[in-house]
Amino acid sequence: MPWRLALALLCASCASGPQPAAVSDEVQVETVTLDLLPEGHGTIGFVLQLASPAGESCTVTRVEWELQLQSRDFATGLSTANVLVPGGQRARVTVEEPVAFGGMGYDGRARTVPVALRGVVFTQWSGGETKRPFSFRTRVAVRGAPLYDR
């Protein structure tokens, strides 16, 4: 067996879990905000910008999302929406949801933290519903954040 084929098989066998779906070029994440309070709750917010091809409008009906904070799973949600994206144009979808992280320590120092946001936007077209995946990594300024290690 040629060494390149053996290496490819070895790499493929080491992959764990399902591979993520391809990210849609029609969905862009504009901003991510976090407001996390010492009481163990707060708010996550983000803005998505969606494009619709010329000639056909769609309606955003919901957004499923997952947020990692400091490379660890932090919050998930399902947000309903009713945003029209006219054919050949772009529209913004704003998501703002409460989060809870009680039982964790809290560091009240202002700083930036790494976040990873991914999810799926569900759009309704004349021909049915479609899913548009998105993914975004950034650093977000916070007034405080939970501690994972005590």
Q: What is the pTM of this model?
A: 0.80
Percent helix, strand, coil in the chain (nearest 5)?
A: 10, 65, 30
Q: What is d(CA 20, CA 134) in angstroms, rounded to the nearest whole number?
A: 10
Q: What is the percent of the chain with per-residue pLDDT over 90, rounded to a whole number?
A: 73
Over range 60-81, report the average pLDDT: 96
∠ CA 141-118-14, nearest 5°, is 115
Establish how many alpha carbons lie within 13 A of residue 60's alpha carbon, considering only the half-sphere containing its beta carbon.
28
Q: What is d(CA 5, CA 33) in angstroms, rounded to the nearest whole number?
A: 44
Q: What is the percent of the chain with per-residue pLDDT over 70, rounded to a whole number?
A: 83
Amino acid making up residue 41: H
Q: What is d(CA 44, CA 100) in angstroms, rounded to the nearest whole number?
A: 10
DSSP result, 37-105? -TTSEEEEEEEEEEE--TT--EEEEEEEEEEEETTEEEEEEEEEEEEEE-TT-EEEEEEEEEEE-TTSE
Query: Which of helix, strand or coil describes residue 5?
Result: helix
**Torsion sign, CA atoms 104, 105, 111, 113:** negative
* pLDDT tens digit sequence for 18-70: 333 456 678 999 999 999 999 999 999 999 999 998 889 999 999 999 999 99
In whole numbers, what is the pLDDT of the chain averaged over residues?
A: 85
| Domains and their CATH numbers in the chain | 19-147 (2.60.40.1820)
